[in-house]
A and B are shown apart, each in its own frame.
Chain A
Amino acid sequence: MIHRSVTTRLASGAIGLALACGAQAGEDAIELKDGPGREQVQRNCIACHSLDYIQMNSPFLDRKGWEASVGKMIKVMGARIDDADARVIVEYLAAHYGK
């Protein structure tokens, strides 16, 4: 399901060229740690990147570090994450992928 929604989003993007999504299959197997906030992470973050970015960048960021990362995604990268979700996402990342 996650996979399909990403493909749809990409295919409806600005570029009319066929996309090479060869690497997408692998990300379906990613399983983030269970806990409150995982759903918000999955729903929001996959718009732009696979969730292995989170696993890879762990466990060395503290709460402030994850806050900065999520803040960068919203302010710089233009992710449309509402404030409530952003708070939950930071809590989840700090709890499960923080130092």
Chain B
Amino acid sequence: MIHRRRLLLAAAGGAGLGLARLAAGAPNIGPAGLSAGALESAEWDTLPGKLPLIKRSWRPPNFETPTRFFNEPFTANDAFFVRYHLAGIPQVDAGTWRLRIGGDGVTKPFELSLAELQRDFEHVELAALCQCSGNRRGLSDPHVPGVQWGYGAMGNALWKGVRLKDVLARAGLAPDAVEIAFDGADTAPLDATPDFVKSLPAWKALDENTLIAWQMNGEALPHWNGFPVRLVVPGWTATYWMKHLVSIDVRRSALQGFWMNPAYRVPKGKFPIIERFVSQEVPASTPITEMVVNSLITNLRDQMMYKARSPLFVRGLAWDGGFGVNRVEVSTDGGREWRLAELGEDHGRFSWRQWTFAFTPDPGEHVVMAKASNRIGATQTFDLVFNPAGYHNNVVQRIRINCA
């Protein structure tokens, strides 16, 4: 039976893409490198208020942004990826929403309405990339369990809100506060499931760039991206960017629980990570923290034909964990020779940065690659640094094109 939703999607102009999926034997959405089951189970679908995105799972909803949206400096709200762990997702009423600030690390616990949050603290707006820790997990070789993301579990936006540190200051922070824990309004269908609660080390929570935000690209947060208020933790992976934020607990001890350990961990010493979460470290592993240097070619498609003997523009993005990307090199011969790409406008060190590279291809096959570096000299890897959760995949892409 043809599913009605797919027909609607195609009719709504989710483009020929929706229609293409209806035809038997149509090519899958990709990308190449995902497991057969991940390729077969993905489809275009539309969450309320969103454009057609790549459905990885329906419940909880996990929807990926198609690469074509990444040719813009900021990712449209209705194309922004969606990621949930737990299927109980409330429609939060902004009028009755309250943010509770408490815990054993404060002297003056209090509550805020949205109007008070917006009235009482200085407003800050900054550009930052929000990238799921597991972005590109589906490309891990060997494959590892979890949501089988391709390249699109990320988006860049302008976030507006107030500094978390200003809100915490009103609560009277204890000098020995070690972690700040955050809870959102989403819940699990079963009471026995660990609630999704995450903490930050106090130093990161108090960073002037860590925000409690209610706006994204000049508009209220979309429901699926945390309405009415979410945490914005520039430089760090999105696991810490709590959506539908309802409570902040200042703690004098480390937060325990599944979502802190064993979830969202990387093996110690495998990645060039600078920012540490010391109160959560154990001998074998540490929580994931800042994003590694990475890049994405956004306009060329693998195995496609392009015109020879006329300028071909390679476009893409580059980002890191907040040190700032300062160099992108492109190779068009499979990595033998590298040349500098031209960097686009700098929207701040937490934003991704666009880049372009022009070359005039001879007829034949070319393998195009891009490699970003940042201000502290970190760069991408050529071979996967395997880890059981499939995090920090910054393997240099190899895009094979044919020119004629």
Contact = CB atoms under 8 A, between A and B. Distances in A.
Is B one of A's binding partners? yes
Given A14-B187, A26-B3, A59 B87 contact: no
B57 A13 contact: no
A49 interface: yes
A66 to B, nearest CB: 9
Interface residues of B, number: 46
A60 to B, nearest CB: 4
B191 interface: yes
Nearest to A76: B258
Interface string B84-101: 000111111100000000
B189 interface: yes
B57 A15 contact: no
Interface string B1-17: 10111000000000000
Contacts of A48: 87, 188-190, 193
A52 B194 contact: no
B30 interface: no
What does DSSP make chain B's interface, helix, strand, loop or mixed?
Answer: loop
Interface residues of A, number: 39
A50 B5 contact: no
A24 B48 CA distance: 11
Interface string A71-94: 000001111100000000000000
Interface string A33-53: 000000000000001111011
Interface in B33-53: 35-38, 40-43, 45, 47-48
A20 B45 CA distance: 16
Given A20-B91, A55-B41, A56-B147, A78 B35 contact: no
A17 B96 CA distance: 11
A48 B59 CA distance: 8
Given A52-B57, A60-B35, A15 B187 contact: yes
Nearest to B192: A78
B148 A23 contact: no
Given A19-B89, A55-B41, A29 B35 contact: no
Contacts of A20: 48, 89-91, 223
A99 B38 CA distance: 14
A52 B42 CA distance: 9
Nearest to B142: A60
Contacts of A97: 37
A26 B55 contact: yes
Contacts of A13: 88, 187, 189
A13 B191 CA distance: 8
A56 B38 contact: yes
29 contacts: A13-B88, A13-B189, A14-B191, A15-B185, A15-B187, A17-B91, A17-B93, A20-B91, A23-B45, A23-B47, A25-B5, A26-B45, A27-B58, A27-B59, A29-B5, A49-B57, A49-B59, A50-B58, A50-B59, A52-B56, A56-B57, A57-B35, A57-B145, A58-B35, A60-B35, A60-B142, A76-B258, A78-B191, A78-B194
